[in-house]
Amino acid sequence: MRLHFPLIAGLLAFTSTAGASPKVRFPVAAMPAALRENAHAVVRLYDHTFTVKSAGQAVNTLHFAITVLDEQGDDYATDIVSYDRFTSINYLRGTVYDANGKLLRTLRSSDIKDVSLSSGANLSDDNRAQVARLQQGSYPYTVEFEEEYTTSNTLFYPVWRPLLNTHLGVEQSHFQVLMPGSLPALRYRELNLPAEVQAKHQTVGNQIVHEWSIANLPALELEAYSLPARELLPAVYTAPSQFEVQGHTGDLSTWEGLGKWEYKLNEGRNVLPEAVTARMKELAQRVPDMRERTRQVYEYLQGSTRYISVQLGIGGWQSAPATEVATRGYGDCKGLSNYGMALLQAAGVPSYCALAGADQPDIQTDFPSNQFNHMILCVPLAQAGRRDTVWLECTSQTAPFNYLGDFTAGRHVLLLTPEGGRLVRTPVYQSTDNTQFRRADVQLDELGNAKATVRTRSAALQQDDLASYMHNLTPEDQKKRAYSQIGIPSFTISRYNLAAAPAAPLPAMVETLELTLPRYATITGKRVFVAPNLLNQSAAPEPMLGERKTDMWQSFAFLDADTVHLLMPRSLQPETMPAPVQLSSRFGSYSAQTQALPDGTVQYIRRLQLNRGRFPKAEYPAYLEFRRKISKADKSTLVFLKTDV
């Protein structure tokens, strides 16, 4: 499925207020100085008008001017207007002014490049763009663009984000939607808008005009441990009730309606070649248990297909017929999910395709609109009368059965059922799911050199990267990757192995390492210093600069437990042991203790559990203190005395 948020565009005809001196435009001196703070660029003016012509056609008209303050703002001097089979560009004009507002240059049509936006992952698609670049060598300078494009794909209405990004100030931004009175009312959702911003709605002739304006917004700078920018920036989402793509009409006013449209689009595309149907029937007979049967069907799917993306026209939303996927052995997320559904159906297991917003923050659940870019498969099984839903990622040939990685887990997805769409949540992996258990045995010699054997078991979200290394890298490259990720100052990996742990409810990987650690212990005179926390030292948090402005966000919940056994030569006697540390807070808990065991070895045990969550900004100092204490405890050193000197 294509990610298809059209670039925010378009506006209203600019009513020229600069009548006095028509040649000077957007002089930098006329801009409030406060907008330059923390900003690489300032939006001087942004007008986006979205004119809905009919249920199946709309026009975006944009006029905007941006002053680029420094090199990091240069990207704003590039205008990319994308188009595809459904979108045609009516015009694209550009002008650039110097700091005083003097015209430097007007874009010529030969300066506009036509490029393909097709990425490497796509075998073929029709995403193209016109690109205009107006970068200048001396700052500040101001670019002005005017553009208009018509689309016959009304599944997407624009999202207005006056602050296009962080580090950008806004002098004026204006958004308006013109709806014909004959169509159902515009649907919109406001997010993070300052209180003084009020929408205006009025009827002009046979059109209903909706308007939003904002002025003098200072640049936003993300703080450490911040929520994603998208959740902090002001925005107005808009969406139609009725829409149309290539003759396929739908109702977007409810999740049900969107789901119905997508379901209808793919209806009847589940016919399998006879041989495949026969194979699934045979499987159904041989394996009575539904869950086990589902697992075997998924294995068959993974073993006989691969992900190849082709997105052309309605093909961006409609899946390839199951027959084609079966014969070619490849498809995109829609093709493969639909094929998986057809296979399960033939094997007597009902399932539903589900639209998902992969690799992005969760969708706005209270605003039905197309916020999705991916498709997965949901198998609503039950066990002993209790719900036991299985989730399948059909684009991966290596994903474990019933496991959604960070890509789609913990999010709302839209189930496509014959009755319409239904919003459900994919599993959330908790800190006690995302575990990393490690045991290390370190043997130290008189010179401070060490050898270590380390075994680490990582589960759920903590195993995602490791699993991908195992599947995609050669053993030599896996070892190279380990070299780049281990934080010990100097070491050599003498043996490395990465393997999947035996099947469990959640997938896990086991990494086994043998390390030689030259000068792991530091010797100064008769003392020997050893850091018992071999592989899991956490970095100090960033110090707080000024007052915290936004809430903090810990996105990843996990539990790490490390046990290190230290075996020293007899000549070394412990002088000091770090005192045990135990911390507990609403952010998580930490403990570390070092003790000499009766057998002459030293044992270090560390446990860190962090919770996922959003915490009020007032708690930030406490959070910093928590992290700082952990970082400090992680660095603590054992001191031995040499008894033979």
Partner 1 sequence: MNPLRIRQRVLLLAIVCCGFSGQAQAQADPIKFGKVSVADFTPLAADSAAPAVVLCDFGVSKVVGGDDGFRLNFERTTRILIRRKAGYDWATVEVPLYHHDERTERIKALKGTTYNLEGGKLVATKMGNESIFRDKVDEHFNNCRFTLPNVKEGSIIEFTYTLDSDFLFNLQDWQFQYTIPVRWSEYRTLIPAYFRYKQITRTYLPFTIQEEKSVPYSTRVSQTLDGRLDKQDIPISTNALSSRWAMQNIPALQKEPFMTSNRDYFSSVEFELAVIQYYNQPPKDVANTWEKIAEDLLKEEYFGHDLNRTSPIAAAMAELPARYPEEQARAAAVVAQVQQAVKYNGEERFLTQVSLKQAVKNGQGNSAAVNLLLVQALREAGLNANPLLLSTRSHGHVLLDMPVLNHFNYVAAHVRLADGKDFLLDATDPLLPAGMLPERCLNGQGRLITDIPAQNRWVSLAPAQRHTEYSNANLTLAPDGTLQGKGHWEWGGYAGLEARATGTTDLVRTLRQHLGDETPNPAPVLPAAADISKPLALDMTVQIPGSEAGAAGTIYLAPMKHFGLTSNPLRAENRYFPVDFGTGRDRTHLLTITLPKGYSVAELPKSQVFTLPNGGGQFQYSCLQQGNTISITSRLSLPKTQYPTTEYSALRELYDRVAAKHAEPLVLSKITNTQP
Q: Is 441 helix (H, G, I), strand (E, B) or coil?
A: strand
How many other CB atoms are there within 10 angstroms of residue 293's CB atom? 21
How many other CB atoms are there within 10 angstroms of residue 265's CB atom? 18
Site for partner 1 in 435-474 (CB under 8 A): 471-474
Site for partner 1 in 375-404 (CB under 8 A): 397-398
CB closer to partner 1, 34 vs 539: 539
Q: Which of 57, 360, 554, 576 binds partner 1 (CB under 8 A)?
A: 576
CB closer to partner 1, 487 vs 600: 487
Taking each helix axis from N to C end, the angle separating 274-286 and 333-346, rounded to the nearest 10 degrees, works out to 60
Q: Is 76 helix (H, G, I), strand (E, B) or coil?
A: helix
Q: Which of 102, 105, 281, 495 binds partner 1 (CB under 8 A)?
A: 105
CB closer to partner 1, 270 vs 636: 636
Q: Is 483 helix (H, G, I), strand (E, B) or coil?
A: helix
Asked if 296 is part of the footprint of partner 1 (rule: CB under 8 A), the reply reads no
CB closer to partner 1, 13 vs 115: 115
Asked if 53 is part of the footprint of partner 1 (rule: CB under 8 A), the reply reads no
Site for partner 1 in 533-562 (CB under 8 A): 539-540, 542-545
Residues touching partner 1, count (CB under 8 A)? 71
Terminal CA-CA length for the chain: 71
Q: Which of 196, 274, 366, 476 binds partner 1 (CB under 8 A)?
A: 476
Q: Which of 330, 391, 403, 620 binds partner 1 (CB under 8 A)?
A: 330
Least CB distance from residue 37 to partner 1, whole Å? Answer: 13
Least CB distance from residue 269 to partner 1, whole Å? Answer: 16
Least CB distance from residue 557 to partner 1, whole Å? Answer: 24
Q: Which of 37, 111, 292, 359 binds partner 1 (CB under 8 A)?
A: 111
Least CB distance from residue 474 to partner 1, whole Å? Answer: 4
Question: Exposed (0-12), middle (13-18) or buried (19+): which is 487, by Cβ within 10 Å?
Answer: exposed
CB closer to partner 1, 523 vs 605: 523
Q: How far is Cα 638 from Cα 163, in angstroms, rounded to an integer?
A: 51
Find out whether 95 and 105 touch, Cβ atoms under 8 Å.
yes
CB closer to partner 1, 22 vs 489: 489
Asked if 135 is part of the footprint of partner 1 (rule: CB under 8 A), the reply reads yes
CA-CA-CA-CA dihedral for 293, 299, 304, 307, to nearest 10: 120
The contact pattern for partner 1, residues 141-180, with x = CB under 8 A and - = no contact, is x---------------------------------------
Asked if 525 is part of the footprint of partner 1 (rule: CB under 8 A), the reply reads yes
Q: How far is Cα 439 from Cα 455, in angstroms, rounded to an integer?
A: 5
Asked if 318 is part of the footprint of partner 1 (rule: CB under 8 A), the reply reads no
Asked if 571 is part of the footprint of partner 1 (rule: CB under 8 A), the reply reads no
Asked if 37 is part of the footprint of partner 1 (rule: CB under 8 A), the reply reads no
Residues in the chain, total: 645
Least CB distance from residue 639 to partner 1, whole Å? Answer: 6
- Residue entry with tokens 């002053």: 67
Q: Which of 53, 133, 455, 617 binds partner 1 (CB under 8 A)?
A: 133
CB closer to partner 1, 206 vs 484: 484
Asked if 602 is part of the footprint of partner 1 (rule: CB under 8 A), the reply reads no
Find out whether 458 and 511 touch, Cβ atoms under 8 Å.
yes
Concatenate the DSSP letters of all residues of 325-348 into one string: HHHHSEE-HHHHHHHHHHHHHHTT
Binding range to partner 1, per CB under 8 A, among 108-116, 292-300, 400-408, 495-503: 108-116
Least CB distance from residue 207 to partner 1, whole Å? Answer: 39
Least CB distance from residue 543 to partner 1, whole Å? Answer: 5
Binding range to partner 1, per CB under 8 A, among 130-138, 151-159, 374-382, 412-420: 130-138
Binding range to partner 1, per CB under 8 A, among 260-268, 439-447, 476-484, 501-509: 476-484
Asked if 97 is part of the footprint of partner 1 (rule: CB under 8 A), the reply reads no
Site for partner 1 in 335-374 (CB under 8 A): none
Give the C-alpha distances (Å, rounded to integers) separating 277 from 253, 301, 319. Answer: 38, 13, 19
Query: C-alpha angle 416/417/420, rounded to 5°?
Result: 85
CB closer to partner 1, 93 vs 133: 133
Give the C-alpha distances (Å, rounded to integers) separating 354 from 1, 172, 262. Answer: 12, 40, 10
Q: Which of 30, 504, 579, 622 binds partner 1 (CB under 8 A)?
A: 579
Q: Which of 21, 138, 182, 202 binds partner 1 (CB under 8 A)?
A: 138
Q: Which of 53, 422, 480, 642 binds partner 1 (CB under 8 A)?
A: 480
Residues 6+ apart with CB under 8 A from 21: none
Asked if 119 is part of the footprint of partner 1 (rule: CB under 8 A), the reply reads no
Q: Which of 201, 281, 526, 614 binds partner 1 (CB under 8 A)?
A: 526
Asked if 137 is part of the footprint of partner 1 (rule: CB under 8 A), the reply reads yes
In 3D, which of 220, 124, 116, 122 has the Cα closest to residue 163? 220
Please write down the HEC assignment for all residues of 529-545: EECCCCCCCCCCCCCCC
Q: Which two tokens stand for residue 570?
A: 């007899």
Q: How far is Cα 316 from Cα 370, in angstroms, rounded to an integer?
A: 13
Residues 6+ apart with CB under 8 A from 525: none
Q: Which two tokens stand for residue 399?
A: 């994903």
Residues 6+ apart with CB under 8 A from 214: 162, 170, 172, 173, 174, 193, 194, 197, 234
Q: How far is Cα 603 from Cα 55, in angstroms, rounded to an integer?
A: 70
Least CB distance from residue 58 to partner 1, whole Å? Answer: 27
Q: Which two tokens stand for residue 173?
A: 């931004």
Q: Which two tokens stand for residue 384?
A: 């002993």
Residues 6+ apart with CB under 8 A from 479: 493, 496
Q: How far is Cα 569 from Cα 600, in angstroms, rounded to an integer?
A: 10
Asked if 278 is part of the footprint of partner 1 (rule: CB under 8 A), the reply reads no
CB closer to partner 1, 213 vs 537: 537
Site for partner 1 in 486-515 (CB under 8 A): 487-490, 492-493
